[in-house]
């Protein structure tokens, strides 16, 4: 029976959280603000566009969401192209899943050009089909609809899909439609560890740890 493994990118498959901490600091400092303690946590489940809207409302900014997203992308682009690397165990896990016949998919809040650049530079772009971004789909990862969409387009029922993510709210959306969930701890992500443990069917602190679960 067909199975699929669906991966979040930032903080799950790639070691990129430092990029967004840098972007947040530079962007807000330019406007006379510091990054609020819960800002990263509040943004984690939102699409890029939703995050821009949230930021405008939170700080009373005058720019449009598109202007803000373009500024963020310009700040992040170089890092994703040249410096962001796979998390430890990612390549080995992807290869092991591929050998077992899993379909590999991406479901990310990251803008498509950044997503393509980082996977290409790390030599894993060809592993994934499809690549779904929340901005392409129009809803954030806290909505079950995006996971139903992926299940439908790959032809694998939700109960045979395994979602890897570092955000509990996203995993809860997956569980609501019967998907299997793997919580991947990311210390820079702002997620509370216990929340991830509570919601995930399997909790891991390193991608190497999941190799023993592959069947």
Q: 130: cis peptide before it, omega within 30°?
A: yes
One domain, residues 149 and 107: yes
Of 150, 115, 142, 132, nearest in space to 51 by CA = 142
pLDDT at position 25 is 94
Q: What is the CATH number of the domain that holds 137?
A: 3.40.50.1000
Task: Residue 60: give the domain boundaries.
Answer: 17-82
Q: Give the DSSP per-residue string, 116-160.
A: HHHHHHTT-GGG-S-EEEHHHHTS-TTSHHHHHHHHHHHT--GGG
Tell me, yes or no, if the pTM score tops 0.85.
Answer: yes
In the block, which residue shows the tokens 């720019």?
63
pLDDT tens readout for residues 24-48: 999 999 999 999 988 988 887 788 8
Q: What is the CATH number of the domain that holds 57?
A: 1.10.150
pLDDT tens readout for residues 175-215: 999 999 999 999 887 788 999 999 999 999 999 999 999 98
One domain, residues 162 and 204: yes
Query: What end-to-end distance do the CA atoms of the chain give, in Å?
Result: 12
Picking from 28, 57, 82, the residue at the C-terminal end of a domain is 82
- Of the CA atoms within 13 Å of residue 70, those in its CB half-sphere come to 5
Highest mean pLDDT among 47-51, 135-139, 188-192: 47-51
């Amino acid at each position: 029976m067909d199975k699929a493994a669906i991966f979040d990118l930032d903080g799950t498959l790639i070691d990129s959280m430092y990029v967004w901490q840098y972007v947040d600091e530079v962007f807000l400092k330019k406007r006379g603000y510091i990054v609020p303690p819960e800002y990263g946590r509040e943004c984690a489940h939102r699409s890029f566009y939703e995050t821009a809207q949230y930021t405008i409302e939170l700080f009373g900014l005058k720019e449009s969401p598109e202007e803000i997203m373009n500024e963020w992308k310009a700040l992040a682009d170089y890092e994703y192209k040249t410096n962001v690397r796979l998390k430890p165990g990612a390549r080995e896990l992807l290869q092991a899943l591929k050998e077992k016949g899993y379909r590999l998919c991406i479901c990310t809040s990251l803008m498509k050009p950044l997503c393509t650049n980082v996977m290409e530079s790390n030599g894993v772009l060809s592993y994934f089909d499809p690549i779904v971004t929340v901005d392409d789909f129009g809803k954030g990862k806290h909505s079950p609809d995006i996971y139903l969409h992926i299940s439908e387009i790959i032809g694998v029922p939700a109960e045979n899909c395994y979602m890897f993510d570092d955000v509990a709210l996203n995993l809860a959306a997956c569980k609501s439609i019967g998907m299997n969930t793997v919580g991947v701890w990311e210390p820079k992500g702002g997620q509370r560890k216990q929340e991830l443990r509570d919601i995930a069917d399997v909790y891991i602190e390193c991608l190497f740890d999941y190799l023993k679960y592959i069947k």
